[in-house]
Amino acid sequence: MSAIFEQVLVHPSQFPDRVYQDYLVSFSGKQINHKFHYDSVKQSQKWLKIHQEYSPSRTNEDCVDAYEKCFQKTAEILDKSRNLQLIGLGSGGGTKDSLLLSHLSNQQPDLVYYPLDVSLSLAIISAQKARSSFPELCVQPIVCDLLHADDLMLQIHKKNEQEIRIITFFGMIPNFPPQQIFPILNNFLTEGDLLLLSGNLSPGSDYVQGIEKIMPQYDNELTKDWLITVLEDVGVNRENGKIKFGIKDDEQNPNLKRVNANFELNNDISFKLDEQLIEWKSGEKIGLFFSYRYTTAKLKEILSSYGINILNYWEAANQEEGVYLCQKESKE
Ligand SMILES: C[S@@+](CC[C@H](N)C(=O)[O-])C[C@H]1O[C@@H](n2cnc3c(N)ncnc32)[C@H](O)[C@@H]1O
């Protein structure tokens, strides 16, 4: 049956008052929360275009192959007699989740797909993509901010104890500090659940040189045009400063580095958000974006500190991306 309405569940973490608070904090704290880069239809369309142009998962056959192999393996190890939930955390355009579904959809008896994103636009795009390939599939899009949703997995009810969960977390770990995101991810997992995640890696044997090599995937006009949109919305534009990319240490773990983008102001600027006056001074840096780059060894170490085992992994031949099939350790 083709539905006229798209039914989307909205978690309280994305209710307007909460979002507006996060918005104010972004501007008063001079660090833009990443979720505000995907918020509007305009931004999500710009991001999808960048993704298509620069993401190895779209431009590199060998990287697509790494995902294929991971999905094949996942389908092999699943118990076919049990119901299955696929929860795509930060599903974006949903391309990877749909590829995974193509390996699962005809063998699991009862499968429900929950594409979840902070962006309404992207959650719906993921849902529509899955539905267009698998018209019989049960799909329930969710809008949610993972950083404020401790109760999320309780809200996504399991039909019974036997139901298996696959949680995907593709392209997500780069956009959060590890000390913020891994405890949250760990909290979402229960014993036996499968976690499929991908990491943007630093290729080669020299970690810093590897990051320098992939820098053009970020430091380019399309990306700058996407990142400045959030500032243009409050009246700040390219005449007021420049977007500069660099490599920065993680504050708590100097062995881990990230690609960092700041907007460096070349004049004083002030604007009002609601009743709050925001004043930025010439020379100040506004944190716009970052992307952590891992290696498989670094990722393994962090995951194992949370009791999450990598069962198998596949790196693209150019080592720019890795796909990891993981499971939470049992307590006994
Ligand atoms: C780099 S994209 C990855 C998209 C997709 N998984 C992929 O691999 O193509 C990051 C996604 O995370 C979403 N996102 C960002 N912050 C989020 C948050 N706090 N909670 C939930 N989703 C978030 C964005 O809207 C975007 O779709």
| 244 and 197 share one domain | no
Instruction: Establish if 4 belongs to a structural domain.
Output: no
Domains of the chain: total = 2
Please check whether residue 289 lies inside any domain of the structure: yes
Residue 38 in domain = no
The answer, as to whether pTM is greater than 0.85, is yes
Sequence letter at residue 242: K
How far is 190 from 151, CA to CA, in rounded Å? 13
Average per-residue pLDDT for the chain: 93
Q: Which of 3-7, 68-72, 85-89, 235-239 has the lowest mean pLDDT?
A: 3-7
Residue 139 lies in a domain: yes
From the CA of 169, how far away is ligand 1's center (Å)? 9
Helix axes 41-54, 120-133, angle to 10 degrees: 60
Given a cut of 60, is residue 72 above it in pLDDT?
Answer: yes
Residues 107 and 124 in one domain: yes
Q: Is 118 in the pocket of ligand 1 (CB under 6 A)?
A: yes
- Identify whether 82 is part of a domain: yes
pLDDT at 2: 54
How confident is the model over 170-180, as a mean pLDDT? 96
Same structural domain, 99 and 242:
no
Closest CA to 104 of 74, 144, 146, 135: 74
Asked whether residue 180 falls in the same domain as residue 319, the answer is: yes
How many CA atoms lie less than 13 Å away from 245 in the CB half-sphere?
A: 17
Q: Is residue 34 part of a domain?
A: no
Q: Is residue 218 part of a domain?
A: yes
- Expressed in angstroms and rounded, the spacing between residue 244 Cα and the centre of ligand 1 is 23
Statement: residue 329 has pLDDT above 90:
no
Ligand 1 nearest atom to the CA of residue 198, by list position: 8
Same domain, 271 and 229: yes
- Range of the structural domain that residue 281 is part of: 207-293
pLDDT at 241: 97
Is there a single domain that holds both residue 161 and residue 114? yes
Residue to substitute in 21, 142, 172 for testing ligand 1 pocket (most ligand atoms within 8 angstroms of CB): 172
83-137 pLDDT, tens digit each? 899 999 999 999 999 999 999 977 666 899 999 999 999 999 999 999 999 999 9
Do strands 111-117 and 138-139 pair parallel, antiparallel, or not at all (unpaired)? Answer: parallel
Give the model's confidence band at 60: pLDDT under 50 very low, under 70 low, under 90 confident, else very high.
confident
Residue 88 lies in a domain: yes
Q: Strand pairing of 276-280 and 241-249?
A: unpaired
- The DSSP bridge pattern shows strands 111-117 and 142-143 to be parallel
